[in-house]
Structure 1
Amino acid sequence: MKAQTKISVIMVMFLLGASMAGSANAQSFSSTATTTSFTFTRNLTLGAQGDDVSALQKFLIGKGLLNISTSTGLFGRLTKKSLGVWQTSVGISPSVGFFGPISREKINTVILEVSITTATSTTTPPTLTSTVYGCSSSVGFSPMTGQPCGIVSAIVSTTTSVAVVNTKNGSPVHLKIPKINVDAGFQYNGLTPDGTMEIPNNVVDIGWFTGSVRPGEKGTSVITGHVAQIRGGVLMKPGVFINLKELSVGDTLTVLNDKGESFTFVVRETRNYDPSADATDVFMAKDNGAHLNIITCEGTWHPDQLSYSQRLVVFTDLVR
């Protein structure tokens, strides 16, 4: 994990470090800029995603409070912090970065038009390189952060106007693993502006990587969670996945999504990875099935690195 994101909570260090770096000369795309009237209608907090989050980020960027180049549509820690600064500036208390009724009413009176950034693919793929700290190629793990160096993607932003539609899209909301007494909710974690993975901001929630498919869809969905909270080498609080290593082949888990659909997965394999190992298979499906891979830390705790020596991955397959 990069120095600026190292905190006393044990982070999942085995996370995708995707980059959007490439040659500008290799890109070919068109862009259209339009605007549309916009009204905020729902509460927003960490993990929220959608067009209204993009609109809020555009507003904060325009105010010089959010230091990212384009809106991402994902309410992460940077958005929360910037929102708190804006709330303080307009006299909203408490200024904690929660976008509730008071903030909505205030911002709806000052924002008239907003353009929302959405993604479109390039017509000519650029040359991709890993920007994960400590990586010299796209193979293996960073010796500095524990993040996989590989699996990069190219997305080029264009500007367009879109309507705010709060539709349910099948995103995960709850995970149950009976064998190890896991009964937890989800946060939605994407990529930070510097290209590293966002992670759950507490030790009790599950993080769904929004760069992967939704659980139950064809392909590989990736989720993660913390092992524990450690301070000064002392275990302060167990994490949601402290007993993940107890799962074995044949054990089951269930994911509930925001449509009320339930998907059951069965454990196919558990595997420990060395930080220098190639983890491509964790994020890529080799068949046409639906898979869910769970990532956490394992091994020996290294206080100087705020990390464990191994990464534990539980591979599961959809059964219904």
Structure 2
Amino acid sequence: MPSSQSATEEEPQKRRAPWGVIALVLLTGLALIRNGSGEFTVGPPQPASAAATDNRVHGQTHTGGPAPLSFSLAERVRIPAIQVDAPIMPVGLDAQGWVDAPPPQDPNLAGWFNGSVSPGEKGTSVVVGHVDNNTGPAVFYGLGALTKGNHVEITRKDGRTVVFEVYGIEVYDKENVPGSKVYGDTGEAELRVITCGGGFTKENGYDGNVVAFARMVKTT
């Protein structure tokens, strides 16, 4: 994980890594919401079949959108449809080579993976966050409830806000994430918002990742 934001700002290209050699696992505690001790025992919402990405749409170039931006650190994420409004910190790779996650002690904190482009740049930017922690729901608990057309807003250090429109929500087994689909460069400024999901056991935590696919539609 970078020692400071300034270091990340100065060397954005150096910190990027090829998606083909990167795996994604988000850390999860044995949260109270899944052990039968509270109102959230049913677990977080999972994507509906109607929210799945259309392969004919994924990777298809869309014209008429805003021009991609230059590099700038992501500072805040807002997803009005699921009441998310959270600061973003840069995250890197852990000692095992997995994409790291923000500290689980803070339930309202997301992470921008500094091996990806910054939100609004041409390419696929990645924002991650926990679904829960030991005290209950965390920042992306409701991610699986998103539907096509919902917006994700990312505020950047340069003062720009990038608005992304969701065009699909999927849940994948952690051992079988389709890397090229999730992380591949579509030729546009895109965003993936990722948290844990799927089945859950106290022994192994969640066995999947929920992935929201979105493309940039506006900047302010």
Please confirm whether the aligned pair reaches a TM-score higher than 0.5, indicating the same fold. yes
The offset of 1:194, in angstroms, is 4.2
Task: Name 1:214's counterpart in structure 2.
Answer: 118
Cα distance in structure 2, aligned partners of 1:300 and 1:240: 19
Cα RMSD, aligned residues only: 3.4
The offset of 1:197, in angstroms, is 2.3
Matches within 5 A, 1:90-101: none
Aligned residues: percent identity?
30
- Equivalenced residues, count: 170
- The gaps in structure 2 that reach 5 residues or longer are 28-69
Residue 189 in structure 1 maps to residue 145 in structure 2: no
Compare the two structures and name the one with the higher strand fraction.
2
The offset of 1:295, in angstroms, is 0.6
Higher relative contact order (CA 8 A, sep 6+): 2
- The gaps in structure 1 that reach 5 residues or longer are 1-44, 55-72, 75-117, 122-128, 133-140, 146-167, 231-235
Residue type of the alignment partner of 1:282: V
Cα distance in structure 2, aligned partners of 1:254 and 1:190: 22
Cα distance in structure 1, aligned partners of 2:8 and 2:188: 33
Task: State whether residues 175 and 185 of structure 1, in contact with CA within 8 Å, keep that contact through their aligned partners in structure 2.
Answer: yes
Task: Name 1:243's counterpart in structure 2.
Answer: 142
The offset of 1:253, in angstroms, is 1.6
Matches within 5 A, 1:237-276: 237-276=136-175
Deviations 1:228-267 (A, max 9, x none): 113xxxxx22100111111000111211101110110000
TM-score where L is the length of structure 2: 0.67
CA change 1:182–1:273 in 2 (3 A) is same
Residue type of the alignment partner of 1:208: W
Task: State whether residues 15 and 114 of structure 2, in contact with CA within 8 Å, keep that contact through their aligned partners in structure 1.
Answer: no
The offset of 1:277, in angstroms, is 1.5
Task: State whether residues 47 and 189 of structure 1, in contact with CA within 8 Å, keep that contact through their aligned partners in structure 2.
Answer: no
Deviations 1:143-200 (A, max 9, x none): xx9xxxxxxxxxxxxxxxxxxxxxx951110111111110000010012344332210
Matches within 5 A, 1:154-193: 170-193=72-95
Task: State whether residues 225 and 295 of structure 1, in contact with CA within 8 Å, keep that contact through their aligned partners in structure 2.
Answer: yes
Selected match of 1:200 from 98, 102, 106: 102
The SS at the match of 1:304 is: coil
Task: Name 1:225's counterpart in structure 2.
Answer: 129
Task: Name 1:313's counterpart in structure 2.
Answer: 211
